Chain A
């Protein structure tokens, strides 16, 4: 997956996790929590969805990389570059 495809995937996951939010105006270099109503259970949902959809494992010590879209995509790019988008 390319960084743009990884971003699309995260948007898709956020759409499930935060269905009441408008994700069109999401600013990539701004923290998710400053823009969306997300709590710790929601971040676990992101981790869980990546595991279920792509078998990507994110250890707890790396959760901090999921702060914003920009940091999330940067963190995931080496883990997901070999995954072919379905």
Chain B
């Protein structure tokens, strides 16, 4: 543990209720007053407009449930492995080993897509975790909102590979191609598997998609389009050679003799992205509904924002990123000082990491207590699932007060030397009330989500 551990008395007082006992001397009551959760704009909303997380299901390269994932992050276990893919050859990837047959038949797996399967596993795990009475729930009031970076590349590549063996005779092109590649496929497969008859669709938002799925789910709950939202992101991207080849051509694909050290955001010797698969789905409900059924609440959406750089296909724009972070803070009614953990998007590219640090420096530069970490250093870049997974990896901090580090920062890039950056070792802090999660993507899409301890 770090030396930054604050006195346990501070931790205890922070957990004290809003109403300190009357016999406590004045200086202590004042201290306690300032240690409660900073109020957010959502406090003024009716419970029917307040959105809470009541279930989390996921598969990550280093864990197939929320608890295992968290444990891996605290134990600094990477999920990056050697990987070989058609045409491209040997590379590295974050690979999931969840039990696909837990919720699907072999025929389901044959017919569907990996993104669908990852989504199905994550969504079923989330519902199980939520304690919802799924058998008796009105499934026409469940909505499915799944973020994807891309979809259809894997399936199209597979078909082209197959017809190559038939001299490109398109009469052997599979009739499964269209249902596998329609853009709503991963969300639709979840709906089919779980008998959900409410709305379902994917949110195409490049690598900002995990946050975008969460945001869409919250918006639909507020609009009363559904009573339960299954929201998050999924990725099958390691199964398309194109993504590796394209990053490689862009000089943005990570290489390292030790797979566990390949994903190294903020390190001077970083050399690119480790592509990963994964999924993370949240059960979102209105606070009023969650209270009514006595659900355990893992966090409340305090604020969010999505904006656009409008400057480049791939290069980020720190000014717009900072604006996005600030917009989320404004909507939440929070100051930068109120945020305890910033979960960064940084992917391990030279430019992207620096630009995000510039953006964060602008917003959080004067904050003395904020901690900043990165989850991609463990699992690589899970694309459409990244934002949702990285938030999920940090949420347990509300209870355990631990900030998992950014691993593989052996030589910190001076341009990434943000105050509060947690590297190397887990840090214990005096309490975590607000987590801000960054997730950015190509074509200049930026997304920020702020979650509050409940």
B interface residues, Cβ below 8 angstroms from A: 105-107, 110-111, 166, 171-172, 174-176
Inter-chain CA distance A41–B178, complex, in Å, is 12
Instruction: List 18 A–B pairs whose Cβ atoms lie within 8 Å, in order of A's numbering.
Output: A16-B110, A17-B110, A18-B107, A19-B106, A19-B107, A19-B110, A20-B105, A20-B106, A20-B107, A37-B107, A41-B175, A48-B172, A48-B174, A48-B175, A51-B171, A51-B172, A52-B166, A52-B172
CB distance from B385 to the nearest CB of A (A): 27
CB closest residue in chain B, given A57:
B171
CB closest residue in chain B, given A38:
B107
Residues in A with CB closer than 8 Å to B172 are 48, 51-52
Q: Is A23 an interface residue (CB 8 A)?
A: no
Residues in B with CB closer than 8 Å to A27 are none
| Leading 7 A-B pairs by shortest Cβ distance | A19-B106, A20-B105, A44-B175, A52-B172, A20-B106, A20-B107, A19-B107
Inter-chain CA distance A84–B174, complex, in Å, is 25
Residues in A with CB closer than 8 Å to B166 are 52
Inter-chain CA distance A17–B111, complex, in Å, is 9
16 additional contacts (CB under 8 A) given A17-B110, A51-B171, A51-B172: A16-B110, A17-B107, A18-B107, A19-B105, A19-B107, A19-B110, A20-B105, A20-B106, A20-B107, A41-B175, A41-B176, A44-B175, A48-B172, A48-B174, A52-B166, A52-B172
CB closest residue in chain A, given B111:
A41
CB closest residue in chain A, given B172:
A52
Residues in A with CB closer than 8 Å to B107 are 17-20, 37
Residues in B with CB closer than 8 Å to A52 are 166, 172
Residues in A with CB closer than 8 Å to B105 are 19-20
Residues in B with CB closer than 8 Å to A51 are 171-172
Inter-chain CA distance A17–B176, complex, in Å, is 12
Binary contact readout A13-46 vs B (1 if CB under 8 angstroms, 0 otherwise) = 0001111100000000000000001000100110
CB distance from B427 to the nearest CB of A (A): 48
CB distance from B164 to the nearest CB of A (A): 13
Inter-chain CA distance A20–B105, complex, in Å, is 7
Residues in B with CB closer than 8 Å to A16 are 110
Residues in B with CB closer than 8 Å to A41 are 111, 175-176
CB closest residue in chain A, given B104:
A20
State which residues 39-65 of A face B: CB under 8 Å.
41, 44-45, 48, 51-52
Inter-chain CA distance A48–B172, complex, in Å, is 7
CB distance from A70 to the nearest CB of B (A): 24
CB closest residue in chain A, given B175:
A44
Inter-chain CA distance A28–B261, complex, in Å, is 58
Inter-chain CA distance A45–B177, complex, in Å, is 12
Residues in B with CB closer than 8 Å to A20 are 105-107
CB closest residue in chain A, given B105:
A20
